[in-house]
C-alpha cells in the first residue's frame, strides 16, 4: 500500500452461512472464512465486511481477527438489517448495510449481543427479524457507523417511503453518514433531482451523492459473483487507506473518492511522472525518502520550514531553468530522484520543455508586467501559431524599413535631379529659330529585350515539360487526355513559330532605324556651321525638356511616397485563440507618428513643418538642415531616420502580449489579481504538460477564485497531470482532496519532510495546526451540506 492516498478495492457486503438462520436457503454452499480470505486476496480487496441478515457471525469474525497478519484485507464489523417504516402502513421493509468503525473481536461480541438482545426483547423469530430506524440510533448511539441502504432493487429504501413521505426518506439519507447501494446509473439522476429539492441553492446540481455497489455475495466458492448465483461483480474502489475514515471521506466527497474499478484503471498513470526523492547525508535536511502521488501533491508547513526549498530542489533535479537554489547555498548533489519509469535513483531526470509547467512565486504577475505570455502559448500547444505571429510582425517591420529605404532612394534621386542642367542659353534660342536646317534622327525604337526574354523562357519551359507531364508516375492519362496534351503541344509550337517571326521583324526594324540614323548622322556632319549649331541647340533643348519632365515625374512619385509616410500607422495585431474564453493578443500600438519622428531630426529654423514631402524638398534645396550633421546628404538623412525610428523598430521585435477575455475585456484593463486568475486557469486547462509545479498560487489570487474555480480545475487536472503545489491555503489542500501532503518542519535549522494523508485523523490534527483556518475547512467539509433548510422543514 502506498503511503499516499491511492485507490483500493472495497467490498462491504458479503454474506456468510449465518444468513440462512434468518433467511431460509439464503446462502449457497458451505462458508469458509479462509476460502473467502484467499478469494479476497486473489481479487486484491483491501477492505471488506461480513454483513449477514439481522445477525452477526461472531465465529467468522473471531477466526479472521485471530489469524490476521500484515497484508491481509482489513475487516470492519457490519450487518445487513431489514428496516421497517411503521408510519407507512405497509409491511414492506428495506435492506440497509450498517458498517461500524470497529475491528476487534470484543467489539464484535458487544454489537452482536446488542442485536440479539433487541430481537429477544421484541420476541421475534429468527426468520422474522426486523427493526425500525430509531432502534439503530438507540442500539448504536455510542458507535460510529455508516448507513448504506439498498436503493435500486426490490428491497429499496424508496419502497416503504413512496406511499408515506419520500421527503422524510431523503432528509434521513442526507443527514446520516450514508451512501446508496445497488443503484443503476440510469436512475441516479432521478435520485439527485429529489435531493436537490432539499438542498440549498449552493449545493444543488453537485455530483456529491455517494453511490456504491458491493458484491452481496452469498457463495464464497463463487466469489465475487453477485447475490447468490448472479453475474460477476464489478468492483468499486475508494481512495485512501483501507480504513473507516477513508470511507467517511469517500461519502463526503464521492466525486473524488469513489469510482468503479474500470474507471480507476483508466486513471492509472504510465507516463514518466516523478516517483520519489531520496535525501541522505544532507547538512540541512533530515534523511528521508519522500514518495509522490501521480495526482495532487501539496507541500505545506510554517514559515521557513523548507517548503520552497523542496520545490526548488525538485525543479533543480529535473533540470528546470526557473528553479533557484542559489539563495539556499545548499549542496544537493547527494540528493537522488526517481521517476515512475526508473529502476534506481538518479542524480537528475531530463524532461522535455513541454513536459513541465514550473511557476514560481510572483511569476504570473511578472508575465503581464513583462508583456510576455510565451509560457502560456507554449503550454497551450500554440507555439507554431506564435511563431507565425512573430513572423508577421517581422514582415511588417521589413515593410517599414523598405518604406524608409525607398524614401531615402527617392530623396537621393531628387538631389541628383536638382543638380541637373535646367538652363537654356540665349544663343540656343536664336539658333533654334534660325532658318538653317538639319536632319532629325528617329528615336522611337521600343526596347523589348526583357519581355522577349520572358516570353521565350515561358515557351521553352512549356515545350520541355509537356513530354514529362505525359509520363509522370503520379498520374495516368487516358487517350482523350493524351490527345489534349498533344494538341496543346502543337498550339505551343505554333505560337513559338509566330513569336520567332515577331522577334525577327522587330530586329529587322531596329536594324533599319539604326542604319537610317547613321546616314542622318553622316549627312548632318556635312551641313554648314549654322545647321550643325542648330542641331546641337535642339539636342540641348531635348535634354532640358527631359530633365524637367523627369523632375516633375520624380516629384510626383516622391510626393505619393511621402503621403504613405505621412499616413503610416503601425497599429498591428495578431490573435492566438487558446480556448473559447481566452485569446492571446500580440499587438503594437501607434504611439509616435513616423512623420513626427522625421521632423524631430530636422532643423526648420523657425519654419513649421507641413508634411514629409514639403520638408524633404526644402531639405534637398538646403532651405533647412539635418540636426547634428554637416550636410543634407542622403546617407546622413538615412542615419538620422534610422536612429529616430529605432524605438519603433523595437516594438516590432517585441510586440505587447495580453489576454483578451470572452466577456469583452482584457488583461490591459483588469487588475493584476484578476489577470493572474485568468492566466493560471488558462495555463492549467490548456497545458500539454505532464507535471505541474506551482509555488503558492494563492499569493496573487482571490479567495473567491480559489473556492469557485481553482479547486475545481485542480480536482479535474490531477487525474491527468502530476501536480506539486506549495500552499498555505487549507481550501486547496482539503477541498482539492490532495492525495499526498508533504509536511515541512524546521527544528533548530534541520528541515524534516513527512508524508500525510487527509483520511488519517492524526494527520488531520497536524495539518490543522499548520494551515490557518484548517479546523474550519475540515469542519465545513464534514458537514457537506448547508442543512438549515432540512432542519426547518
Predicted confidence (pLDDT) per residue in 219-243, tens digit: 999 999 987 667 788 999 999 999 9
Domain 6-267 architecture: Alpha-Beta Barrel (3.20)
C-alpha cell at 116: 440479539
Confidence of residue 140 (pLDDT cuts 50, 70, 90): very high
Burial class (CB in 10 A: 0-12, 13-18, 19+), 696: buried
Helix, strand, coil percent content, the chain, rounded in steps of 5: 50, 15, 35
Q: What is the DSSP string of 145-199?
A: EEEEEB-SSTT-THHHHHTT-HHHHHHHHHHSSB-BBS--HHHHHHHHHHHHTTS
pLDDT value of residue 793: 47
The angle that helices 185-196 and 166-175 make with each other, rounded to 10 degrees, is: 90
Q: Which one-letter DSSP state was computed for residue 573?
A: E
Q: What percent of the chain shows pLDDT beyond 90?
A: 43
What CA–CA distance (Å, rounded) separates 262 from 182? 17
pLDDT tens digits, residue range 730-785?
Answer: 888 988 999 999 999 998 889 999 999 999 888 988 888 888 777 777 777 776 66
The 296-301 sheet, strands edge to edge = 356-359, 691-695, 722-726, 296-301, 740-747, 750-756
Mean pLDDT of 70-85: 95
What CA–CA distance (Å, rounded) separates 168 from 152? 18
Q: Where are the domains of the chain?
A: 6-267, 274-371+671-792, 403-547
Burial class (CB in 10 A: 0-12, 13-18, 19+), 788: exposed
**Residue 74 and residue 46 in contact, taking contact as beta carbons nearer than 8 Å:** yes
Strand partners, 296: 723
The 288-291 sheet, strands edge to edge = 288-291, 274-279, 336-339
pLDDT above 80 (res 495): yes
Identify each DSSP E strand in 353-396 by its residue range: 356-359
pLDDT above 50 (res 790): no
Do the first three CATH levels of 6-267 and 274-371+671-792 match, i.e. the same topology?
Answer: no
Confidence of residue 194 (pLDDT cuts 50, 70, 90): confident
Contacts of 299 (CB under 8 A, 6+ apart): 307, 310, 311, 724, 725, 726, 727, 742, 744
Mean pLDDT of 639-654: 91
In angstroms, how far apart are the furthest CA atoms of the chain?
A: 157
pLDDT tens digits, residue range 417-468?
Answer: 777 655 666 776 776 676 666 566 677 667 888 888 999 999 999 988 998 8
pLDDT above 60 (res 791): no
* HSE (side-chain half, CA atoms, 13 Å) at 323: 19
Contacts of 431 (CB under 8 A, 6+ apart): 530, 533, 534, 536, 537
What CA–CA distance (Å, rounded) separates 678 from 659? 9
- In this structure, the dihedral spanned by the alpha carbons of residues 66, 70, 72 and 77, taken in order and rounded to 10 degrees, is 50
**Residue 477 and residue 485 in contact, taking contact as beta carbons nearer than 8 Å:** yes
pLDDT value of residue 610: 85
The 10 Å Cβ neighbour count of residue 44 is 11
pLDDT tens digits, residue range 244-260?
Answer: 999 999 998 999 999 99
What CA–CA distance (Å, rounded) separates 586 from 652? 10
pLDDT above 50 (res 473): yes
Look over the chain and give the mean of its residue pLDDT values, rounded to a whole number: 87
Confidence of residue 789 (pLDDT cuts 50, 70, 90): very low
**Residue 113 and residue 56 in contact, taking contact as beta carbons nearer than 8 Å:** no
CATH code for the domain defined by 274-371+671-792: 3.40.50.300
Residue 91 CA: distances (Å) to CA of 19, 133, 163: 21, 15, 12
Identify each DSSP E strand in 561-686 by its residue range: 572-577, 582-588, 602-603, 625-626, 656-661, 665-666
**Residue 417 and residue 616 in contact, taking contact as beta carbons nearer than 8 Å:** no
pLDDT tens digits, residue range 698-723?
Answer: 777 777 888 778 888 898 889 999 99
Residue 125 CA: distances (Å) to CA of 79, 114, 239: 18, 16, 40
pLDDT above 60 (res 786): no
Amino acid at each position: 500500500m502506498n503511503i499516499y492516498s491511492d485507490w483500493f478495492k472495497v467490498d462491504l457486503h458479503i454474506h456468510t452461512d449465518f444468513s440462512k438462520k434468518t433467511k431460509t436457503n439464503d446462502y449457497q454452499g458451505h462458508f469458509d472464512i479462509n476460502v473467502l480470505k484467499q478469494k479476497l486476496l486473489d481479487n486484491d480487496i483491501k477492505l471488506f465486511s461480513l454483513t449477514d441478515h439481522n445477525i452477526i457471525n461472531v465465529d467468522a469474525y473471531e477466526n479472521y481477527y485471530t489469524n490476521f497478519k500484515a497484508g491481509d484485507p482489513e475487516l470492519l464489523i457490519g450487518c445487513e438489517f431489514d428496516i421497517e417504516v411503521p408510519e407507512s402502513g405497509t409491511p414492506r421493509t428495506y435492506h440497509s448495510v450498517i458498517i461500524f468503525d470497529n475491528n476487534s473481536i470484543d467489539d464484535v461480541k458487544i454489537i452482536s449481543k446488542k442485536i440479539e438482545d433487541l430481537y429477544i426483547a421484541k420476541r421475534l423469530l429468527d426468520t422474522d427479524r426486523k427493526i425500525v430506524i430509531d432502534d439503530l440510533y438507540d442500539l448504536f448511539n455510542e458507535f460510529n457507523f455508516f448507513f448504506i441502504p439498498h436503493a435500486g432493487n426490490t428491497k429499496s429504501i424508496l419502497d416503504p417511503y413512496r406511499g408515506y413521505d419520500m421527503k422524510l426518506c431523503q432528509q434521513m439519507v442526507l443527514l446520516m453518514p450514508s451512501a446508496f447501494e445497488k443503484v443503476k446509473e440510469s436512475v441516479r439522476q432521478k435520485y439527485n433531482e429529489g435531493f436537490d429539492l432539499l438542498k440549498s441553492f449552493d449545493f444543488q446540481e453537485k455530483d456529491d451523492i455517494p453511490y456504491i455497489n458491493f458484491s452481496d455475495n452469498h457463495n464464497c466458492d463463487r466469489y465475487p459473483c453477485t447475490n447468490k448465483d448472479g453475474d460477476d461483480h464489478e468492483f468499486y474502489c475508494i481512495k485512501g487507506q483501507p480504513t473507516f475514515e477513508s470511507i467517511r471521506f469517500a461519502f463526503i466527497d464521492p466525486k473524488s473518492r469513489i469510482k468503479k474499478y474500470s474507471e480507476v484503471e483508466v486513471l492509472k498513470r504510465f507516463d514518466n511522472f516523478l516517483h520519489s526523492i531520496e535525501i541522505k547525508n544532507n547538512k540541512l535536511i533530515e534523511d528521508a525518502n519522500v514518495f509522490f502521488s501521480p495526482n495532487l501533491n501539496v507541500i505545506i508547513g510554517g514559515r521557513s520550514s523548507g517548503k520552497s526549498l523542496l520545490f526548488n530542489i525538485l525543479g533543480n533535479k529535473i533540470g528546470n531553468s526557473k528553479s533557484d537554489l542559489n539563495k539556499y547555498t545548499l549542496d544537493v548533489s547527494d540528493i537522488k530522484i526517481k521517476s515512475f519509469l526508473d529502476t534506481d535513483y538518479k542524480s537528475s531526470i531530463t524532461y522535455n520543455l513541454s513536459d513541465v509547467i514550473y511557476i514560481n512565486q510572483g511569476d504570473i504577475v511578472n508575465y503581464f508586467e513583462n508583456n510576455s505570455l510565451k509560457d502560456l502559448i507554449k503550454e497551450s500547444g500554440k507555439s507554431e501559431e506564435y511563431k507565425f505571429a512573430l513572423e508577421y510582425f517581422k514582415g511588417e517591420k521589413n515593410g517599414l524599413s523598405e518604406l524608409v529605404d525607398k524614401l531615402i532612394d527617392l530623396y537621393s534621386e531628387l538631389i541628383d535631379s536638382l543638380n541637373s542642367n535646367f538652363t537654356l542659353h540665349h544663343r540656343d534660342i536664336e539658333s533654334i529659330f534660325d532658318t538653317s536646317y538639319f536632319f532629325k534622327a528617329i528615336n522611337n525604337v521600343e526596347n523589348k529585350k526583357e519581355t522577349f526574354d520572358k516570353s521565350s523562357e515561358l515557351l521553352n519551359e512549356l515545350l520541355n515539360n509537356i513530354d514529362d507531364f505525359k509520363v509522370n508516375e503520379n498520374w495516368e492519362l487516358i487517350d482523350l487526355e493524351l490527345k489534349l496534351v498533344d494538341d496543346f503541344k502543337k498550339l505551343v509550337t505554333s505560337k513559338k513559330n509566330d513569336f520567332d517571326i515577331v522577334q525577327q521583324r522587330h530586329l529587322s526594324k531596329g536594324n533599319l532605324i539604326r542604319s537610317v540614323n547613321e546616314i542622318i548622322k553622316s549627312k548632318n556632319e556635312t551641313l554648314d556651321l549654322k545647321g550643325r549649331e542648330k542641331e546641337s541647340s535642339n539636342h540641348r533643348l531635348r535634354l532640358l525638356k527631359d530633365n524637367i519632365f523627369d523632375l516633375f515625374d520624380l516629384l510626383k512619385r516622391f510626393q505619393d511616397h511621402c503621403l504613405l509616410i505621412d499616413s503610416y500607422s503601425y497599429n498591428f495585431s495578431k490573435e492566438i485563440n487558446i480556448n473559447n474564453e481566452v485569446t492571446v493578443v500580440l499587438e503594437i500600438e501607434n504611439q509616435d507618428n513616423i512623420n513626427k519622428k522625421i521632423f524631430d531630426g530636422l532643423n526648420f529654423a523657425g519654419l513649421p513643418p507641413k508634411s514629409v514631402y514639403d520638408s524633404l524638398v526644402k531639405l534637398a534645396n538646403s532651405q533647412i538642415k539635418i540636426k547634428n550633421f554637416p550636410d543634407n546628404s542622403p546617407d546622413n538623412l538615412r542615419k538620422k531616420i534610422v536612429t529616430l525610428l529605432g524605438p519603433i523598430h523595437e516594438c516590432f521585435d517585441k510586440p505587447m502580449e495580453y489576454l483578451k477575455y470572452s466577456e469583452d475585456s482584457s488583461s490591459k484593463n483588469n487588475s493584476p489579481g484578476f489577470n493572474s486568475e485568468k492566466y493560471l486557469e488558462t495555463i492549467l486547462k490548456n497545458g500539454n504538460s505532464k507535471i505541474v509545479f506551482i509555488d503558492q498560487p494563492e499569493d496573487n489570487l482571490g479567495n473567491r477564485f480559489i473556492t469557485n474555480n481553482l479547486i475545481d480545475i485542480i480536482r479535474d487536472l490531477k487525474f491527468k497531470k502530476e501536480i506539486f503545489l506549495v500552499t498555505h491555503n487549507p481550501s486547496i489542500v482539503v477541498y482539492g482532496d490532495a492525495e499526498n501532503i508533504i509536511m515541512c518542519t524546521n527544528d533548530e535549522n534541520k528541515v524534516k519532510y513527512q508524508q500525510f494523508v487527509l483520511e488519517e485523523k492524526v494527520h488531520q490534527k497536524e495539518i490543522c495546526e499548520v494551515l490557518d483556518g484548517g479546523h474550519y475547512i475540515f469542519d465545513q467539509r464534514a458537514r457537506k451540506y448547508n442543512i438549515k433548510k432540512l432542519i426547518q422543514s
